[in-house]
Amino acid sequence: MKRAFTLTEVLAVIAIATTFAAISYPVFSQVRRSARKSECISNLHQIGVAISMYRSQYDGVEAGTPVEMGLPPGETLFSTVTDGLKCHGTASMGEWPLYSKTWPEPGDDQASQKFWAAFVNRYGSSTVMMFDANHQPSAGPVSVGWQNWTVLGLKLDTSVYAKTHRAFPLTLSWWTQ
Ligand SMILES: [Zn+2]
């Protein structure tokens, strides 16, 4: 005779499966978060190499205004260089592009151009030119407040690092604090 499962056995199996799912979910989501972060570190590095090549074709100077340095305007950068290299982080930054650049546009005011030039003169190739703020260590809603932010930064020398500091990196100075 074929033996059927009793209700108790079925409930026990469901309870065990639910417990296992509850235990493993944070582990899997942690693995997924760390995989997405690795993907972006690689993307940012590739974007950095592309920008470097663009600048050398342009004969850009080591330090100066973005135009003198041969840094591409946002439109050129985001339509060609970062095409296909997108962040799959969970936090949505709304009006910010997934990867943000720190240098001013050619048409921006003189003060921003001078500030950039002075900053690069001081910090050289460790100046962060692009960043990705979509990889907070904990899940949940984010706000542009004074909590700690973990941000991936791409330096002019094409290396990428993660920095955690309070507030959102709205200015270049955030990277030197
Ligand atoms: Zn990302």
Residues 59-94 as b/e (b if ≥16 CB within 10 A, e otherwise) read ebeebbbbbbbbbbeeeebbeebbeebebebebebe
Number of domains in the chain: 1
Q: Is residue 2 part of a domain?
A: no
| Domain-located, residue 89 | yes
51 Cα–ligand 1 center, Å: 18
Ligand 1 centroid to 71 CA: how many Å? 22
pTM of the prediction? 0.81
Residue 37: inside a domain: yes
CA distances from 57 to 45, 52, 70, 162, 166 (A): 19, 9, 9, 29, 38
- Centroid of ligand 1 to alpha carbon of 33 (angstroms): 10
Range of the domain at 148: 7-176
The per-residue pLDDT for range 85-123, each reduced to its tens digit, is 888 776 555 556 788 999 999 999 999 999 999 999 999
| Cα 67 to averaged position of ligand 1 atoms, centre (Å) | 27
Q: How far is the CA of 41 from the centre of ligand 1 (A)?
A: 8
Residue at 1 is within a domain: no
From the CA of 92, how far away is ligand 1's center (Å)? 10
Range in 21-25, 50-54, 67-71, 106-110 the model is least confident about? 21-25
More confident residue, 142 or 114: 114
CA of residue 126 to ligand 1 center, whole Å: 20
How many A from CA of 114 to the centre of ligand 1?
Answer: 29
Q: Is the C-alpha dihedral spanning 53, 57, 63, 64 positive or negative?
A: negative
Say how many Å lie between the CA of residue 116 and the centre of ligand 1.
24
What residue type is 141 in one-letter code? P
In a domain, 114, yes or no: yes
